[in-house]
Structures are given as structure tokens and as C-alpha cells.
Copies of this chain bind each other. A is one copy, B any other.
Amino acid sequence: MRAARFHGRGDIRIDEVPEPEVTPGTVKIEWCGICGTDLHEYQQGPIFCPTPDHPHPLTGECSPVVLGHEFSGAVVELGQDVNDLLVGDRVVVEPRMVCGVCPPCLSGRRNSCHKAATIGLQGGGGGLAEFVVVDRSLVFSIGDLPFETGALVEPLAVAHHAVSQAALKPGQTAAVFGGGPIGLLTVCMLKARGAGKVILVEPSTTRRNLGIQVGADHILDPLSQDVNEHIQSLTAGYGVDIAFECAGLNVTLAGCLAAVRAGGTVVNIAISGHPLSVDMLPVVLKEISIIGTICYADDHQPVIDLLRCGSLSVEPLITKRIDLANLVREGFETLATSTEKHVKILVHP
């Protein structure tokens, strides 16, 4: 079968690889993937992809690894003992394998597993291949949802988990700093979960406009507007209840700390490659909580429920559709050269 594999920085190839086979307790899925977060790996990697020098501690695999952790598909074969799915069922995959025995796993925080491996990045096959075989426990039915929508469940689960970390109460105000894919999905998720005013802070005009399409009540351009003055004015001088840091910069984290009310919460979603310079004084004086969030755990089902009841309008974020054969040229290269214009590019089998 054909599969997109990461060989090294700037080197992703569509390879012919053996078809994976079902084993007891697994499910074989024919895919429909999204090309998005793998971009960093293509441009700056290997970041998460294991190298021959350092095979992944959980999967034992190293490059070339199959890519694609955001995907949906149809069940084509069921392994022994899998009796609660049918061939043809539309499904999505929670692409995280965990060790199950480290302190975080044992204390119910599997998303912080010391050895966690992401399927489609660190071994175990991936969504950007004709077929993938995964453990039944990682598979979620999406009913009659379109495959295209299903392919967005994984990044939506990241946003769902981030909003859960913030313990959002209906009606609360929020600011999202950074309108990349996760920032925009967070805007969308906030509105679906009952947030009041949602303010998106993002320099790109295209992305600000997408923000409006997925539910932002206000958009601010940090390059031409005094962001904090506007946020304080929009919240009668109280500040927002919650700010989401989706950019990983000194200036955006400082913006979050300035934006929140006394007792407010800053959720740090972004992963920054270097230490940030943080003025802790507002954290102390306003008694802010800065909360980290990573991936998801028990978030896929609620996301599917929200999609099925029509609460999430994510279609505007699928900005292009391509074939697997054109993944590099029309997918990664397009994302790399026009990040402003594209959010999620759907890859059809």
C-alpha cells in the first residue's frame, strides 16, 4: 500500500510499504487524513519523529515512520475478539499509545505518560497511508458524520481538553491569542461549550476572518491595535475570565497575563522550543492560574457528540483538498509558503 513517510527534514516520501495486518483486539481502517501539524516535522524535524539513534521507547520504531495522526476512515477488517464494531463503520482514532505503568498513567493522567507515542508520528503506522491497524480501545464511531468532519476530531479533542482544563463556565469571557489551527478550533470549541464573549487576537487578516466564521465575537489585530486596551474595554475593565496561549511567544504570554481578570486562568496550549521570559508580578498580584494542557484524554467522544448535534462549525477551516500523491507539493509546501491562507488541508485516499 502507499504511505507518506518521514525520512528526515524536508524529506517526506510516498512509499510503497506492506499492508498492516489485524491481530486480536485491533481494527483495520481505510483512511482520510489531514495534513496540518506534521508541518513542523517537515520543516524543522525530526522533533517528535524518532531517529535510528533514538528509537521510540514505547514503539521501538524509528524513521522512516508513517505520518498522519489526524484522520478518519472506514473499518475494513476486525481482529479477533472485536465484536462491537462492524465493517464499514465510520470511525476516528485517538492516536496516543501509552505505557500504562508510569506514575502519570497509574494516576489517571495518561496524556502525560512518560513514554507516550503518537500514532502517525512515532510509530504504529499512521493516517496518511492506505490502511492503518490500531487497538480497538483507540477507535471511536462517528455514526453518519462525513469523513471530512471526522478528520478534524483529533485537533478538536486538543481544543476540547484545553477548554476543560480551564473549567469554563457558560457565559464566561475568553481571549484566544494566536489564530493558528488550534487557536481557531479553540474559538469554535469555546462557543460550542457556552462561552460568552470570545475575542481572537491574531495578526493575519485571513485567520481573523476565519475566526469570525467559526464563532469569534471580536477580532483584534496586535499589529495595529492596543490589544489590552480593547480587551479591558470589552470586559468593562474586569479582564477576560480565561485566556488561551496558542502562539508560544513572550509577547502572547504577556498578553494573556494582562488580559485576564483577578483570579483568571491562562491556559498554555502552545509548545515553545525555548524558555520564555515571564513577568510573574501580574501572576501574583492578580492571583492568576497558568495551566498547561497536552493532547487529550477522554475527549474524543464528547467532541463527536458536539459534532453530531451540530454545535461545531469547523468546515471553514478545511481550506484545501488534495490527493496523497500530491501531499508534499500541494500539502506541506503550500502550508509552508502560505501559512496565512491555509489551516487544514484534507488528504483524500
Residues of A within 8 A of B (CB): 102-104, 107, 109, 111-112, 165, 236-239, 248, 253, 261-263, 268-272, 275-294
Q: Is the CB of A109 within 8 A of B278?
A: no
| Residues in B whose Cβ lies below 8 Å from that of A291 | 287-290
Q: Is the CB of A112 within 8 A of B237?
A: no
Q: Is the CB of A283 within 8 A of B262?
A: no
CB distance from A41 to the nearest CB of B (A): 17
| Residues in B whose Cβ lies below 8 Å from that of A289 | 289-292
Q: Is the CB of A284 within 8 A of B271?
A: yes
Q: Is the CB of A290 within 8 A of B287?
A: no
Q: Is the CB of A277 within 8 A of B276?
A: yes
The 10 closest A-B pairs by CB, nearest first: A112-B262, A283-B292, A104-B262, A284-B292, A103-B238, A290-B290, A109-B262, A275-B279, A278-B278, A275-B277
Q: Is the CB of B279 within 8 A of A278?
A: no
Q: Is the CB of A286 within 8 A of B292?
A: yes
Q: Is the CB of B262 within 8 A of A107?
A: yes
Please give 9 more A-B residue pairs, beta carbons under 8 A apart, in addition to A103-B262, A112-B287, A289-B291: A103-B236, A103-B238, A107-B261, A271-B280, A277-B277, A277-B278, A283-B290, A284-B292, A285-B294
CB distance from A323 to the nearest CB of B (A): 34
CB distance from A82 to the nearest CB of B (A): 31
Of the A-B pairs whose beta carbons lie under 8 Å apart in the complex, a sample of 12, sorted by A's number, is: A104-B261, A104-B262, A107-B263, A111-B287, A112-B263, A112-B285, A112-B286, A270-B280, A272-B280, A278-B278, A284-B292, A289-B291
Q: Is the CB of A237 within 8 A of B292?
A: no
* CA distance in complex: A22, B233 (Å): 41
Residue of B nearest to A161 (CB): B287
* CA distance in complex: A268, B286 (Å): 12
Q: Is the CB of B263 within 8 A of A109?
A: yes
* CA distance in complex: A238, B112 (Å): 12
| Residues in B whose Cβ lies below 8 Å from that of A292 | 280, 282-289
Residue of B nearest to A112 (CB): B262
Residue of B nearest to A109 (CB): B262
* CA distance in complex: A291, B238 (Å): 19
Instruction: Output the residue of A103, A237, A286, A287 with the most chain B CB within 10 A.
Output: A287
